[in-house]
Structure 1
């Protein structure tokens, strides 16, 4: 509704209609504007005639209507409130009909019928159904009441009814029909235009939906391309990195001089940092792609925390920091059900950060059972440090990807700024929030509270079963192990030969999967180390072909996948192809030997 004030001297409809008005409102404004002009002209046309005929009541009514129309027109061009003007016109029309039927003509003629039709049309089009119905019923009741009373041949008043001459009748009927036609035609056009506009909106919305769908498809393809690109780049980076770390490990095994050992430690540390950065980027990409699936397996929190903190404790001690781990006694004998791998990743990142940003003092890790509900436990994890601290206005920022508290922090401590972003995302995906309390120069505490289903099994206080390490298998002649390595990269081949020579093993090398199958057919091997990405025949297809060999011994030979790939489903693909285990490049020599011995000589 438009109630703005315009210049008092305005007479133009252009200043009344606003672009903000709907099509129907614009039609209503035009109807009042032009309708008042038509009514004013019609009254002027019959005014001289009724004056000459000395019809006093008709003349008086015409003068009053002329004056009212002029006042309403001036008001409307000054304050275009079409609702108020519509009510005024309908009320005036109702009064005119009542006066005409009961006093002026004392009959229901064609002019009265036209006026009733005008009020019905005008009421419904200009106002809502409610007001249209009210005005229509009032006028119909007025006319019907007169007809009923007149049917009893009673005279309503002592006033002499006036008659309408032919000229007045013709002019009144003409202008009434013109206004009726104008109302109907005007609103018909408005409704048609409105329907066309709605159709245009529908077509536009359809086009937008199609564009949105195409954009979503492009976004999905872009996301897939990004994932493939990261996986490919990871493979290409990990492959030479495998050689760098592998050679560092080999040189460390050759009892280097102290100065050489220091240089090798720096080389190995830098390569390890590079590997960590690559893993962070890949993990974050995996999380953002929504391809994270959480396991629900049984594990003991105390054992998990001991394993996580074992290596971290050494790092803390190397920096001269105190490191303490406290696990609630209740948790030491209970099995939780959840995803120990992701929980380890969360705790590891938080502890690594605590050690990284602490120069003196120490790091305290505590795991406490807040509430035990028999079949479910609420556990609070806390990592507290005496490090540099975080400003209150920077706490939210540190959880954003590729962000640290400040540029100075990044330069001083390094890193991608992905660790805490990964922690936050992993917790949020499980409906858990990370909390931080910190004070500059005093330290920080990162903590979160998590619910775990509790297994009915209890931990037996015995020495847990573990894999037998190479050192504990001194009676096994490792040098007699027959190893087939399927690897196409010459640098990796050289690295593997040097590494296995330390174990007195001479491996047989196959440059692709097809060659590996041929060598296995004519030779006897204890285990196969299978690279996955090779020419001619890749590791997956080669493993499937081996599992179909007619010789049961060859078909069941242990196969370990060696992969530098970071595809999300690599683990499932390895096992689905029939391989027994996998080792990610770059790998630790002891880890590889452990897995080989466990498959060649299974622990009973």
Structure 2
């Protein structure tokens, strides 16, 4: 950017700067050189007029010269090209009309040149609207004069002056040069502008190409990250499945008290590791925009009781008072929403509250703040008397993989993903999480959520079904497709509890072959296997010629974390899936359900 122009500035460079557009710079340059040219032409014209004694023209030329010098000085002090352009056009219009109606009382070549110059200059400098205005302001009076002169021989008391040939030559030559200069100057500006636009367009195309390449790399990187997380998840979940599964089996064998204590510790540690893996995968799913929200019927009271039921024992172990307070207006009412995501949000908030509270209380409240005919707004809050959070750290705790400080991380552990997941899940639904916290006093996290409700009465609670007897599945012929030896051993031991002796296939191709030549009631299919994976094996089974075998129920056993795993399972023809590590009762329930349907 140029230095500011002073009152004594005569330099063009000082009135141009990078903030001005290319067109504005062209206008300023045109005025600068045009005013210099007009001033020189006026000096030559005055010299010619003084020799021929034409007082009226001399006075007009002198006034024009003074005006040009004043405008030139104003331009070099302040480049207000619009005001100077209006000034020049007004002066030029007065000179034109003065020559036509008073001084010359005629329309000659000089008049025509000046009018053309005004038309060109007004359009180039001030745009279409002012160009039309100044063009008509000069053309209409001159046209009126010609009509008047044609009808009545126009005569006023002032005697018109005759232009000397030398004056005519100077005026005509100067007007031609000025017109050529204006047109050529704006033509050059136009060409330069077009070149710059082309260069900008080329640069934009290059940037677009680079951006597209960067987006492709980012997409590949994101895909690679998802694949990596999926692979690592599978590799971590597979041994975890064995650890948790074997622990559950040992706990089912009525161990001694000392053995039970050790197994509980083992199960707790494995569950913690699984929770960390799940947090990372959940956050990755949320960040990738793969989250969808259900809108299904649910009982909010039962849901909250189920969520908090498991925390009561955990709180009591730490000597904390845990209290769940549910507004009576929320009871005996049918809600529609996503129970899975609500569970995830409340679970993370309550888990944090218990983790960071060493003594005192943890409260979970659900309050109906607005109740209409078919909608209810519920305020959820989780309050504790824990360590609290400093005001300047309130934003940091919502960042992924972050906690308040390193001391908190070392003392309490965790991934720092719980609150990040809660915040993202609420934001995806257009909701905000509020925090009120004071170090050493405690914290309260709260959010409001609107639910669609039904006016129909909630059905009376049905007594829980007794745990099915293991012998209920003893008659089943079960085929397990699994290549991992540890998982095979685990499944054999688990199914033996239900009096089932399974048949094992080491890969998908073997599973298809065994099903062709044997009779099985259900297939438990691992997804990642050599020779033929579980997806292709399921498709091959569905293509079998024997309808009974082709329709054999298939449950996928997967440790994969791919976001679209559910869609892939169903698309391949499988009936259901269980994620490793799984709870034995979940597998039992799904097997019983599919076999009863098939039966």
TM-score w.r.t. structure 1 length?
Answer: 0.89
Aligned to 1:427: 426
Structure 1 stretch 531-540 or stretch 10-19: which is displaced more? 10-19
Shift of 1:457: 4.2
Secondary structure (helix, strand or coil) at the match of 2:400 reads: coil
Shift of 1:281: 0.8
1:509-524 equivalences under 5 Å are 509-524=504-519
Aligned to 2:566: 571
Structure 1 stretch 90-99 or stretch 141-150: which is displaced more? 141-150
Shift of 1:286: 1.1
Distance 1:67 1:356 in 2: 87
Secondary structure (helix, strand or coil) at the match of 2:23 reads: helix
Aligned to 1:437: 436
Shift of 1:177: 1.1
Structure 1 stretch 292-301 or stretch 144-153: which is displaced more? 144-153
Structure 1 stretch 266-275 or stretch 15-24: which is displaced more? 15-24
Equivalent residues of 2:312, 2:322 under 8 A apart: yes
Superposition RMSD in Å: 3.1
Distance 1:407 1:422 in 2: 20
- From the superposition, tell whether residues 51 and 552 of structure 1 become closer, same or farther in structure 2 (CA, over 3 Å): closer
Instruction: Give the number of equivalent residue pairs.
Output: 598
Structure 1 stretch 403-412 or stretch 569-578: which is displaced more? 569-578
Structure 1 stretch 404-413 or stretch 540-549: which is displaced more? 540-549
Equivalent residues of 1:4, 1:79 under 8 A apart: no
Shift of 1:516: 2.2
Aligned to 1:25: 24
Unaligned regions of 5+ residues in structure 1, if any? Answer: none
Superimposed CA distance per residue, residues 322-375 of structure 1 (whole angstroms, 9 cap, x where no aligned partner)? 222233344432222222122221221122112111111222223333333233
Shift of 1:27: 2.2
Secondary structure (helix, strand or coil) at the match of 1:232 reads: helix
Distance 2:378 2:304 in 1: 13
Shift of 1:320: 1.8
- From the superposition, tell whether residues 354 and 89 of structure 1 become closer, same or farther in structure 2 (CA, over 3 Å): same
- From the superposition, tell whether residues 521 and 406 of structure 1 become closer, same or farther in structure 2 (CA, over 3 Å): same
Aligned to 1:186: 185
Structure 1 stretch 62-71 or stretch 165-174: which is displaced more? 62-71
Secondary structure (helix, strand or coil) at the match of 1:107 reads: coil
Distance 1:92 1:129 in 2: 20
1:451-462 equivalences under 5 Å are 451-462=450-461
Aligned to 2:96: 97
Distance 2:136 2:491 in 1: 100
Unaligned regions of 5+ residues in structure 2, if any? Answer: none
Confirm whether residue 36 of structure 1 aligns to residue 35 of structure 2: yes
Aligned to 1:242: 241
Aligned to 1:47: 46
- From the superposition, tell whether residues 45 and 382 of structure 1 become closer, same or farther in structure 2 (CA, over 3 Å): closer
- From the superposition, tell whether residues 235 and 106 of structure 1 become closer, same or farther in structure 2 (CA, over 3 Å): same
Shift of 1:564: 0.6
Distance 1:536 1:256 in 2: 40
Aligned to 1:538: 533
Shift of 1:164: 2.2
Shift of 1:158: 4.3
Distance 2:71 2:450 in 1: 73
Distance 1:147 1:592 in 2: 104
1:304-453 equivalences under 5 Å are 304-453=303-452
- From the superposition, tell whether residues 332 and 166 of structure 1 become closer, same or farther in structure 2 (CA, over 3 Å): closer
Superimposed CA distance per residue, residues 523-546 of structure 1 (whole angstroms, 9 cap, x where no aligned partner)? 444443221111122222323333
Aligned to 1:292: 291
TM-score w.r.t. structure 2 length?
Answer: 0.90
Equivalent residues of 2:2, 2:17 under 8 A apart: no
Superimposed CA distance per residue, residues 369-425 of structure 1 (whole angstroms, 9 cap, x where no aligned partner)? 333323322223222222222233333332222222222221111111111221222
Superimposed CA distance per residue, residues 3-43 of structure 1 (whole angstroms, 9 cap, x where no aligned partner)? 99524444333333333322222222222222222223323
